[in-house]
Amino acid sequence: MPTNSGQRTTSGRGRLFDSVLDTIGDTPAIRVNNLGAGKATIYVKAEFFNPASSVKDRLAIAIIEEAERSGKLKPGQTVVEATSGNTGIGLAMVCAQKGYPLVVTMADSFSVERRRLMRILGAKVVLTPRAEKGLGMYRKAAELAEKNGWFLARQFETTANAAIHEATTGQEIVNDFANSRLDYFVTGYGTGGTLVGVSRVLRRQRPETKIVLAEPANAQLLGSGQVQQRGTDGAPAASHPAFEPHPIQGWTPDFIPDVLQEAIDNRYYDELVPIAGPKAMEWAKALAQKEGIFTGVSGGATFGVARQIAERAPAGSVILCMLPDTGERYLSTPMFETIPSDMDAEEMELSRSTPGFQLAAE
Residues belonging to the active site:
56, 298
According to DSSP, the residues that pair with 30 across neighbouring strands are 44
Contact 335, 285 (CB under 8 A): yes
Contact 248, 298 (CB under 8 A): yes
The single-letter code of the amino acid at 353 is S
Spatial contact of 277 and 247, defined as CB atoms under 8 Å apart: yes
DSSP code string of 10-70: ----SS--SSGGGG-S-PPEEE--SS--TT-EEEEEEGGGSTTSBTHHHHHHHHHHHHHHH
Cα 196–134–326 angle (5° rounding)?
65
Q: Strands across the sheet with 210-216, in order?
A: 29-31, 41-46, 318-323, 184-187, 210-216, 271-275
